[in-house]
Structure 1
Amino acid sequence: MTELTGTLWVAGGGALGAYCRFQISAWFAAWFGKGFPYGTLFVNVLGSFIMGLLVGAIRMDAVPFIPWHDFIGEGFLGALTTFSTFSMDTFAAFRDGQPGKAVTNVVVNMVLCLCGTAFGFFLMVQ
C-alpha cells in the first residue's frame, strides 16, 4: 500500500468517525441535557470497545492489519473518541466549582474505557 492510499484510508475513517461523534453527542445532549458529558463518555467507551475488538481480531488474524488498522484504528476511532473534549469537560467542572463532577468524569471514563477495551479484546480472542 502506498503512503497516499494509507492516508486516504485514515482520512475516510476519520470523516466517518467525526460524523458519528457529532451525531451521537447531539443525540445524548438532546435526551439527557448538558449537565454531564454523557455523549463524550459514550463515544470514548464505544471507541475503546471497538479498539479492543480490532486488536483482538488482528491478533487472531481474523482481519488483516492493513488497511483495517488505518481505517478503523487510526481514522474512525481517532475521530470518534475525544480525549480533548473529555479533558475540557473535566476542566470546566473544576473551574465551575464542581470537583465531584470532575472526579466522577475522570473515574468513570477511565474505568469504563479500560473495561470496554478489555471486553472487546477478550471477545475476539476467545
Structure 2
Amino acid sequence: MLQTLLAVAAGGAIGASGRYLVNVTTGRMFGLGFPYGTITVNVLGSFLMGALFVVMARKGGTALAPFLMTGVLGGFTTFSAFSLDALTLFERGQGGTAAVYVVLSVALSLLALVVGAFLTRMVMA
C-alpha cells in the first residue's frame, strides 16, 4: 500500500509540473482571457487516458496504473481548475463564454479519450 501511495505521489508531481508548464506556455502564446491551458491539459490528458487504458488492458500493465493514470494523468488534468475557470468566466459576466468553455471541454475531452483508445487499438492490432 505504501509503495502504491508513493507511486501515485511521484506521478502526481510529474503531472502537476506538466500542467503548470502547459498553463504558462499557453498563457504566453494566447493570453489569459480564456483558460487555454486548462482545456489543453484536459483534452490531452483524456487522449492519453484512452491510449493508456487500451495499452494496459492488452499488455497487462495494470501495475503501472496507479503511477500513470492516477498519479501522472490525475496530476496533469485539471477538472477542479476547469470548474473554477467556468465559474470565474460566469462571475465576470461572460456566461456565454463559460457555456462554450464547458461544452467544448467536455465534448473535446470525451472525443479525445475515444480517439486515443481507437488509435491505440489500431496501432496494437
TM-score class normalised by the smaller sequence: over 0.9
Unaligned runs of 5+ in 2: none
- Return the offset for 1:114: 0.3
Return the match for 1:52 from 39, 50, 53: 50
Counting matched residue pairs gives: 122
Does 2:108 match 1:107? no
Does 2:87 match 1:91? yes
Find the counterpart in structure 1 of residue 76 from structure 2: 80
- Return the offset for 1:100: 1.0
Unaligned runs of 5+ in 1: none
% identity of equivalent residues: 42
- Return the offset for 1:9: 1.0
What is the TM-score of this pair, normalised by structure 1? 0.93
Return the match for 1:64 from 61, 76, 91: 61
Counterpart Cα distance in 2 of 1:56 and 1:119 = 11
Q: Runs ≥4 in structure 1, deviation > 6 angstroms?
A: none
User: Counterpart of 2:33 in 1: which secondary structure?
Assistant: coil
Deviations 1:66-100 (A, max 9, x none): 0x211110000111001111111111111111111
Counterpart Cα distance in 2 of 1:77 and 1:19 = 11
- Return the offset for 1:35: 0.8
